[in-house]
Structure 1
Amino acid sequence: MTKKYFGTDGIRGLVNSSKINGDMFFKFGLASGTYFKTQKKKKQIAIIAKDTRLSGYTLEPALVSGLTSAGMHVYTLGPLPTNGLAMLTKVMKANMGIMITASHNPYHDNGLKLFGPDGLKLSDKIEKKIETLIDKKISNSLSKPKALGRVKRLESANDDYIKILKKNFPKNFNLKGLRIVIDCANGAAYKAGPELLKSLGAKVFSIGVEPNGININKNCGSTFPSKIKLAVKKYKAHIGISLDGDADRIIMCDESGMIIDGDQIIAALAIRWKRKKMLKGGVIGTLMSNYGLEKFFRAQNIKFLRSDVGDRFVKEKMKKNNFNLGGEQSGHIILGKYATTGDGLLVALEVLFSLRKGKKASNFFDTFKKTPQILENIEVKDKTIINKIDIKKSVKSSEKLIKGYGRILVRSSGTESKIRVMGESENIKLLQKCLKTIIKKIK
């Protein structure tokens, strides 16, 4: 289903470009408000959170104007992790929740992630209906003057989110004696992250907690994990936690400075959940999940299925197969027992709950041997070049060459102007030869 505005994870792009500007955000607000106010509720409510990008000050008022023009009453929550918004959408019984963020992208990008009243990201079908409304004549969706929505700022959102997270664990759960480094990427969790860990008694060393509007994800956070690696060694911490701009991703670091990616976190949690009889069905990974993870789950008799890349697709497949654990190598991990979308802080708590009895992080994460993986992201002006005949031929011939020794995946990014070329094999020389051919052809 081809969509005009929505990508694999909401709407995203360069600020003040064709999609990401005040005019379009008014239209997004008006269209989504018009669609969701059809729900039979006494009061039509939308809640909005955001990360720390400078452009949020421009885009949020436009979005609010569109929603109130559609007759929605709006609560603005300020900077808050994405899953905090999803959770509060359910708790507040709102029609919808909107997160203004471009996730792990640089500050000059921004976008939207939309959630329905169930706290789930919207389906392709609903996104398509909203797109139809976006392109309709504005006057058709405007409310009568008496039916316009009101706006209120909610200051307690971070505290409310922290309370919800802590309710998922026993009352006596604490982190006393643990030294923890947390990198909040100068993003949405810069308040909630350190406050949550400190409230549980941990000694916390915080980095990436001084947002200035343009330093979000800059040389910090889950896409720059070397920062926590150095900090863990410097402060002799037991573990490091690295989040992205909207805190729905997590990359970790053990006490020795070893970086732990999403696949390794998922493997460790799956083994623990299986032992505790908490694992339901199996685990959902993606096309990017390491082949070593697949082999490991096969050996552990844990069912493993792959979805398309994107935590929305992971969640859809989890729901379809009735699984309660899934995620991506990049750190989007969904704990279906507790959440509807990725949540870095929730995953961190689940890991820390396992370490509270003195177990070392290195031992907890020592689960499987990763198959060597090479990933190259190629910036392009037009992602559709991936469909050119000569590029397809190059990919097909490389796949044929490596068959039986590994696998190759070439795909366009759903959130950036990039083509991602990934390969896995124990035969590194053969893998490099195959990928070099494809990359050269794309460039």
Structure 2
Amino acid sequence: MPKVFGTDGVRGLANGRLTAELALDLGVAAARVLVGHGEFSGRRPLAVVGRDTRISGQFLEHAVVAGLTSAGVDVLRLRVLPTPGVAYFTDLLGADLGVVISASHNAMPDNGIKFLAHGGVKLDDALEAEIEACLGEEWDRPVGADVGRVMPHDGTVAQYAAYLVSTLDGSRDRPLTGLTVVLDCAHGAASEVGPRALRDAGAKVITIGAEPDGLNINDGCGSTHLEPLQAAVLAHGADAGFAVDGDADRCLAVDHTGTVVDGDQIMVVLALALHQSGHLTHDTLVATVMSNLGLVQALSGAGVEVLQTAVGDRYVLEAMRSGGYSLGGEQSGHVIMREHATTGDGVLTALHVLQRMKSSGRSLSDLAGAMTRLPQVLVNVPDVDKSRAESDPVLADAVAAEAALLSDTGRVLLRPSGTEDLVRVMVEAPTQETAEVVAHRLADVVKAQLTH
């Protein structure tokens, strides 16, 4: 069987690669691994399951739940809820397993399944490998009273929104009163809980992308399409705008002038706020190698170190957990505030950026201006053999040559995508023109060397 898990669970075309049969088998395999590692003292293991708004999520959820319960796991259905919300309830309810049915920022035809361990953290690679090894195996099925039960969990949206607001200083006093914000929910999992949390915190909220129909998730909206948010911020004269993706684990922003504020800038805003208040553990931010050099320069000048990891919020979180760090994230908008969440949380991020604006009396444009971005170009090269991206000698020589030309004025990063069939070429340079020339020159080498 081909490898099933990618960098963020299992993802693919719903009812194509990702079938109901595979979803059921994954539920069974995850339950078996869970039981093998746990001590349940006569009780059945407990799982919580949530999903985003994709119509395919309905049949995939039922298939996963069938697999879990057939293997003797009780299931609480959270229905439509952001990935960080599922992580929150996994921890809050003491569940042994969390399951999210979502393809995050991918287009609607895709869907995905990701698992969370006890405590609401993503599974490590070893546990995913165990689950994958169990797929399709013969096993002893429980019967009679030993099969699992399925139960709804009521009030998830209200409870999760209340928790998000409670993380703010002075949360009972509606601390965001006086701010006007636009929130683009990507017609996804945050369509109800996102606006509710911001309003409960006192902000005046204009929502866009908050009318999911099962087909329109991420369709021309959300964190992958910021133009509607920019237009809405300007049209309403809002103080800021925020856009989440389909499962709301990432967040990008727009300031009052309509200028995009990316994940790197958001992390700088939050890192400096925590550093100044003495709450940035070890005065360190954890970021990935994709973060702009401008982030490193801005924070190092303020006395904050940056620890860089491989690309993927799971690797950021692993580094945060091992080092006890409190803040980390990715340029794409995954921001992990470990004091409050076990994974990236777009709504939580928006709330805390707004709190920084309100408490400092400064605009988002001013706060984000602490970082000067080096020109950065990212070129995606599709339809190539990404498995050879890190081993092809000609490509390696080309990367080394371009890196040597840039020296300490920029950098080159080439990596295979973990979720899509393509290779990413990222170049930072002193000028936009140089970055584009180098990036496209390398992209041509990728095409020439890795074309099937």
User: Normalization by structure 1: what TM-score?
Assistant: 0.95
Match of 1:442 in 2: 446
Q: Distance in 2 between matches of 1:168 and 1:203?
A: 19
Q: CA deviation digits over 1:284-329, x for unaligned, max 9? A: 1101000111111221121111101111000101112221111000
Distance 1:430 1:352, change over 3 A: closer
Q: 1:382 aligns with which of 372, 382, 385?
A: 385
Distance 1:349 1:141, change over 3 A: farther
Match of 1:267 in 2: 268
Q: Distance in 2 between matches of 1:355 and 1:262?
A: 16
Aligned residue type for 1:152:
M
Q: 2:417 aligns with which of 392, 396, 413?
A: 413
Offset, 1:402: 2.1
Distance 1:435 1:381, change over 3 A: closer
Match of 1:94 in 2: 95
Is the aligned partner of 1:368 residue 2:371? yes
Offset, 1:401: 2.4
The 3-state SS of whatever aligns with 1:402 is helix
Match of 2:32 in 1: 34
Q: Distance in 2 between matches of 1:77 and 1:6?
A: 23
Q: Distance in 2 between matches of 1:347 and 1:102?
A: 20
**Contact 2:224/2:245 (CA < 8 Å) preserved in 1?**
yes
The 3-state SS of whatever aligns with 1:403 is helix
**Contact 1:68/1:148 (CA < 8 Å) preserved in 2?**
yes
Offset, 1:8: 1.1
Aligned residue type for 2:318:
E
Kindly report the root-mean-square deviation, in angstroms, between the aligned alpha carbons of the 2 structures: 1.6
Segment drifting more, 164-173 vs 205-214: 164-173
Aligned residue type for 1:408:
V
The 3-state SS of whatever aligns with 2:380 is strand
Q: Distance in 1 between matches of 2:3 and 2:366?
A: 47
Aligned residue type for 1:371:
L
**Contact 1:30/1:141 (CA < 8 Å) preserved in 2?**
no
Match of 1:24 in 2: 22
Q: Distance in 2 between matches of 1:150 and 1:216?
A: 31
Summarize the alignment of residues 21-420 of structure 1 with structure 2, pairs less than 5 Å apart.
21-38=19-36, 39-41=38-40, 42-137=43-138, 140-169=139-168, 170=170, 171-281=172-282, 282-357=284-359, 358-380=361-383, 382-386=385-389, 387-420=391-424
Q: Distance in 1 between matches of 2:395 and 2:357?
A: 47
**Contact 2:44/2:148 (CA < 8 Å) preserved in 1?**
no
Q: Distance in 2 between matches of 1:322 and 1:300?
A: 21
Match of 2:4 in 1: 5
Distance 1:57 1:74, change over 3 A: same
The 3-state SS of whatever aligns with 1:98 is strand
Q: Distance in 2 between matches of 1:417 and 1:354?
A: 39
Q: CA deviation digits over 1:183-231, x for unaligned, max 9? A: 0001000010111112223221101111111211111000111221110
Aligned residue type for 1:197:
L
Aligned residue type for 1:364:
L
Q: Distance in 2 between matches of 1:163 and 1:419?
A: 41
Distance 1:17 1:173, change over 3 A: same
**Contact 1:222/1:251 (CA < 8 Å) preserved in 2?**
yes
Q: CA deviation digits over 1:89-122, x for unaligned, max 9? A: 0111111000001100001111112111111101
Aligned residue type for 2:385:
D
Q: CA deviation digits over 1:54-106, x for unaligned, max 9? A: 11122111111100010011111111011110010011111100000110000
Q: Distance in 2 between matches of 1:388 and 1:423?
A: 19
Offset, 1:22: 0.4
Which residues of structure 1 form unaligned runs of 5+? none
Which residues of structure 2 form unaligned runs of 5+? 448-452
- Identity %, equivalent residues: 38
In the comparison of the two structures, how many residue pairs are matched?
Answer: 439
Structure 1 segments (4+ residues) deviating >4 Å = none
Aligned residue type for 1:196:
A
Q: Distance in 2 between matches of 1:332 and 1:116?
A: 19
Offset, 1:438: 1.3
Offset, 1:381: 5.1
User: Normalization by structure 2: what TM-score?
Assistant: 0.94
**Contact 2:286/2:320 (CA < 8 Å) preserved in 1?**
yes
Q: Distance in 1 between matches of 2:25 and 2:140?
A: 10
Offset, 1:385: 4.0
Aligned residue type for 1:22:
A
